[in-house]
A and B are shown apart, each in its own frame.
Chain A
Amino acid sequence: MSAKKWKVFDFGPAAYITEEVPISKRKTKDENVTSVKRYKFSSPGKHKSFDFFKKLAPHSPEDLMVHPKKLQELEGWIKTVVQSNKMKPEFLLISGPTGCGKTSAVQILCKALNIELAEWTNPIDMDYDVMKGSGQVAKFMDFFSESKYCSLFGKGNSKKILLIKDFPNAIIRCPEEFFSVLEHISTNSVHPVIFMCTDSTTNEINLQRLLFPDEIMMKHCIAHISFNLCAATLLKKGMKRASDILNACPESFHHPTQTTIDAILASSMGDIRCAMNQLYLACIIGDQNKFVTKLKEGKAGSKRGKNVSTGSIKHMARDEALGLFHGLGRVLNPKRKNEGIAWKLDCDLQKLVDEFSIQPAKFTSFLFENYLKYFGALGDAQKTADILSFSLGLLENWENHELLLMALWTAVSGVMIFNEHKVSKWNQIKAPRKIERRIKSIEEGPRLHPTDGFYYNILTKSSKYPVFK
């Protein structure tokens, strides 16, 4: 065949084996790309010569802001599977929060080890109208079998790894199909496969739990590497690298000041992609002073130990997730706003409850264990104790998730509203106590009710049952 013939051939819309070059362009998620475009419009024609994300994207494993140990783990896996000559695909599951560098790590490592990486992308609906082709799952299946052919752009002899990040919707609705696909490819395919799942707090879209239950992991010997949030030091390092690159560039961008960078670091919560997007935004916005003053607020907040994402950062910032202690602190030290003779809580209760990243039952028991220390008057404590006891009734007899949230809501608002005489001092947070039975009901010797232990102790002159002082 001559090359000319191939040139006129129409490949059709978006082939689903996406090649290395397009992938590195797809560095950011689609919505980010669109927002970037919008900003480009606002300052037309100014930085056309400079592709921000392309420039800042990591190029070698050293540039990756992933913990070295994790990187080593991943590299080890890739090396072993590529070297093994088994005619059976190896599987790896990578999980981790958004923007911690999962995809980049895989891409950069494959590049460094000279391995071809093929990523599955869901065909968009438009394709169906044109092609009237087979269903999504069938195509997904084809992806594995077709992948045994070399790519036209590929170097031919290099090894290949398949990356599944975008799970077909049909599969999410019906995990059994995925299990059968797995079954099929574990016998028919030869290339190692990497699955990538983003951590999620809600159950409905928790892919890892849905698609990779323990028995599946065991059955197909799926290795699992779990990524953590990007550590603060690494994030700092990444920002430094980014600003160094920016500073080295010509005057096409406003160079972010240290204040801006600090504010970005404080509000990105371990999400390096988010941090980079914010940096881009900061660089693009013309009126730098306006941006900085707004950020100063945010920075002051961060000094008090709070992540206040303000004004211009807001629409690019991550949703805030409150840790346990953070959440407890907010609830146990409520802030009030006086409005004439009335007052109200200086916080959005609904937002606060939504931000808790801990089970309602657990949080309520933490509240119960600690609320007394923050109360100054018995009357307040009584009302709160009553509310807690009431919300516990809801918590322990829940029928759906909404009721659980409702119970948490009741408990939190009770503790916050009734604390009229707050004691402001530092208190240690205690974990809820577990009541463990010291006497098991079935033991050697006569079996008695604990209330009769006292007599038993006298009769046998022993101290098998606990003594009260």
Chain B
Amino acid sequence: MSMLWVDKYRPKELSALDYHIQQAEELKNLVEHSDFPHLLVYGPSGAGKKTRIMCILKELFGPGVERLKMEPITVTTPSNKKVEIMTVNSNYHIEINPSDVGIYDRVVVMDLIKNIAQTQQIGMTGNQRDFKVVLLTEVDNLTKDAQHALRRTMEKYSANCRLILCATSLSPVIPAIQSRCLPIRVAAPSVSEIATILQSTCEKEDLELRPELAEQIATAVNGNLRRALLICEVYKMEHGDLSEQVGEPLPIPEPDWKVFVVQTASLITSEQSIENLMAVRERLYELLSNGIPPEIVLKELLTALLMKCDKHIIPQVLREAALYEYRMTQGNKHIVHLEAFVTKFMCLYQRHLKSLMQGF
């Protein structure tokens, strides 16, 4: 299987990054300093957090970090249950996504990191550092228990290991962890930056991309560079030519889950009843169990609903959405808050329809 453009043209060095040049410089300075802090890299999806982290690692340890191997690791929970988690590691770092194991993430954070951190590096040569790096992704999905455990681990083993945490949003991360890390925000690239990158990528592929299309894709993805590259590649595969416009401008393909959310929104507006609510719940469950992040579900659902409702109730709907979004960040059972929002919207919508009827 040929590589996706996303992986093929991923910058490998801090100096090769296309945007946030200033930040790249600063990161380079940071790495050159001997004292490397814990990092907390955050920013929207597809903005290049992971790319930057890999660049930092390469800068720290040299090309050795690119020799990756996948390895399942088994940890035992206090209730004697064996949980397996996949890790990606090199000689210098290990990458784990603790939220893969759901509620057992605390055990992973405690045991796994402890094991790694307790082994000291010996026989350092050249540019090798005297610490290992543990890269934790999706830190915002960690349970509170795990975050508190992590706090302790960070303090205790800071001599042998550094943590790089990667999160989409900072608010679910407890302040104790935030204050122990150097926060690095990776903002989403602008439309023109995305368009430029699309152009340069197509050049490397020996393709010609017409500027309007690049612009169109860049606008549609809302700052998500990875998605832009994927759409571009899909476009090329489905329509062949990117250089000339054949007939009508073709629409940007929408991902199926987005269509699914829009369908759910029309289900909500079509009828407001308990039965319908149960159907909506099923659909929400489906979205969540397929890994679509709940905050994105809420956001997309809200956008789709706002398109359908009268401008008089929009402020109220937004207020409710804000409330439930906040509650959602406080816990791990997102479905309850999503459903509460849906019922609230149904009620508001129904009341509004009734008041319209009375007007006649």
A381 and B274 within 8 A (CB): yes
* A393, B331: Cβ atoms closer than 8 Å: yes
A435 to B289, CA, bound (A): 5
Give A383-404 as 1s and 0s: 1 = Cβ < 8 Å from B's Cβ atoms. Answer: 0011011101101110000000
Whether B274 and A441, one on each chain, are in contact in the complex, defined by CB atoms closer than 8 angstroms, is no
Interface of B is mostly: helix
Q: What are the residues of chain B within 8 A of A395 when measuring CB–CB?
A: 331
**Count of interface residues, chain B, beta-carbon cutoff 8 Å:** 66
A378 contacts B by Cβ under 8 Å: yes
A292–B45 CA distance with the chains assembled, in angstroms: 72
Whether A397 contacts B230 by the Cβ 8 Å rule is no
Is there contact, CB below 8 Å, between A454 and B256? Answer: yes
A129: interface (CB < 8 Å): no
Q: Is the CB of A459 within 8 A of B233?
A: yes
Q: Mark B229-262, 1 if CB is under 8 A from A, else 0.
A: 0110110011000000000000001011101100
Given contacts A454-B255, A455-B234, A459-B230, contact A439 B291 (CB under 8 A): yes
A389 touches B350 (CB 8 A): no
Q: Determine the distance from Cα of A297 to Cα of B259 in the docked complex, in whole angstroms.
A: 59
Binds A, one of B17-25, B155-163, B196-204, B334-342: B334-342
Which residues in B have their C-beta under 8 angstroms from that of A386? Answer: 340, 343-344
A459 touches B290 (CB 8 A): no
Q: Which of B34-42, B114-122, B278-286 contacts its partner?
A: B278-286
Residues of B within 8 A of A389 (CB): 324, 327, 336-337, 339-340
Query: Is A156 among interface residues, defined by CB-CB distance under 8 A?
Result: no
Q: Which of A365, A372, A452, A465 contacts B226 (CB 8 A)?
A: A452
> A436 to B101, alpha carbons, bound, how many Å?
9
The complex places the Cα of A181 from the Cα of B348 at a distance, in Å, of 67
A467 CB–B CB distance under 8 Å: yes
| B292 A451 Cβ-Cβ under 8 A | yes
* Cα-based distance from A72 to B104 in the complex (angstroms): 39
Whether A135 sits at the interface, judged by CB under 8 Å, is no
Q: Which of B86, B144, B234, B255 contacts A440 (CB 8 A)?
A: B86
Residues of B309-360 at the interface with A, using a CB-CB cut-off of 8 Å, are: 324, 327, 330-333, 335-337, 339-340, 343-344, 346-347, 350
> Are B256 and A468 within 8 A (Cβ)?
yes
A442 B226 Cβ-Cβ under 8 A: no
Interface residues of A in 387-430 (CB under 8 A from B): 388-390, 392-393, 395-397
Pick the contact of A449: B1, B4, B144, B226 (CB < 8 A).
Answer: B226
Within 430-463 of A, Cβ neighbours of B (below 8 Å) are at: 433-446, 448-456, 458-460
By beta carbon, the residue of chain B nearest A386 is B340
Q: Does B64 contact A (CB under 8 A)?
A: no
Docked complex Cα distance between A390 and B344 (Å): 14
Q: Are A468 and B259 in contact (CB under 8 A)?
A: yes
Contacts of B3 in A (CB 8 A): 446
Tell me if A442 and B256 are in contact (CB < 8 A). Answer: no
A379 on the B face (CB < 8 A):
yes
Residues of A within 8 A of B100 (CB): 437, 440-442
What is the total number of residues of chain A having a CB less than 8 Å from a CB of chain B?
A: 52
Residues of B within 8 A of A468 (CB): 256-257, 259-260, 286-287, 290
Docked CA distance A373–B274 (Å): 8
Determine whether B62 belongs to the interface, using a CB cutoff of 8 Å to chain A.
no
B260 to chain A: which residues have CB within 8 Å? 468-469
Contact B86 A455, beta carbon cutoff 8 Å: no
When the two chains form their complex, are residues B343 and A385 in contact, meaning their CB atoms are under 8 A apart?
yes
Which residues of B202-243 have CB atoms within 8 Å of chain A's CB atoms?
226-227, 230-231, 233-234, 237-238
Instruction: Decide yes or no whether B272 CB sits under 8 A from chain A.
Output: yes
Are A451 and B234 touching (Cβ within 8 A)? no
> Which residue of A has the minimal Cβ distance to B348?
A382
Do A378 and B273 have beta carbons less than 8 Å apart?
yes
For A379, list chain B residues within 8 Å (CB).
347
A468 to B70, CA, bound (A): 29
* Known contacts A378-B347, A442-B87, A446-B4, A452 near B291 by CB under 8 Å: no
From the candidates A444, A446, A449, name the one contacting B46 in the complex (CB within 8 A).
A449
Q: Please indicate the chain B residues that have their CB under 8 angstroms from the CB of A467 in the complex.
A: 256
A378 and B292 form a contact (CB under 8 A)? no
Known: A389-B336, A438-B290. A396 touches B343 (CB 8 A): no
Closest A-chain residue to B97, C-beta based?
A441
Query: In the complex, A375→B277 CA distance in Å?
Result: 11
B346 touches A378 (CB 8 A): yes
**Contacting residues, chain B, for A445 (C-beta < 8 A):** 1
Partner of B288, one of A397, A435, A444: A435
For the complex formed, measure the closest distance between the CB of A461 and the CB atoms of chain B, giving whole angstroms.
9
Confirm or deny: B130 has a beta carbon within 8 angstroms of a beta carbon on chain A: no
Interface string of A226-265 (1 = CB under 8 A from B): 0000000000000000000000000000000000000000
Q: Which chain B residues lie closer than 8 Å to A446 at the CB level?
A: 3-4, 6-7
Chain B neighbourhood of A175, CB < 8 A: none
Given A441-B138, A455-B230, do A378 and B343 touch, yes or no (CB 8 Å)?
A: yes
Q: Which residue of B lies closest to A377 (CB)?
A: B274
Contact of B88 among A377, A442, A459 (CB under 8 A): A442
On whether the beta carbons of A390 and B327 are closer than 8 Å, the reply is yes
Bound form: Cα–Cα A332–B310 in Å: 35
Taking a contact as CB atoms under 8 Å apart, the answer to whether B226 and A436 are in contact is no
- Residues of chain A lying within 8 A (CB to CB) of residue B340: 382, 385-386, 388-389
A368-B336, A378-B343 known, 8 other contacts, Cβ within 8 Å: A388-B340, A390-B327, A397-B144, A436-B102, A442-B96, A446-B4, A455-B255, A468-B290
Residues of A at the B interface (CB closer than 8 Å) are: 365, 368, 372-373, 375-379, 381-382, 385-386, 388-390, 392-393, 395-397, 433-446, 448-456, 458-460, 465-469
Q: Which residues of B does A touch, CB under 8 Å?
A: 1, 3-4, 6-7, 45-46, 70, 86-88, 95-97, 99-100, 102, 137-138, 144, 226-227, 230-231, 233-234, 237-238, 253, 255-257, 259-260, 272-274, 277-278, 281, 285-293, 296, 324, 327, 330-333, 335-337, 339-340, 343-344, 346-347, 350
When A and B form their complex, which 6 residue pairs have the shortest distance between CB atoms, in order from nearest? A450-B291, A396-B331, A454-B255, A455-B230, A385-B340, A468-B260
A-B contact pairs, 14 of them (CB 8 A): A365-B333, A368-B335, A382-B344, A385-B343, A388-B340, A390-B327, A437-B289, A438-B290, A442-B87, A442-B100, A443-B86, A448-B6, A452-B227, A458-B234
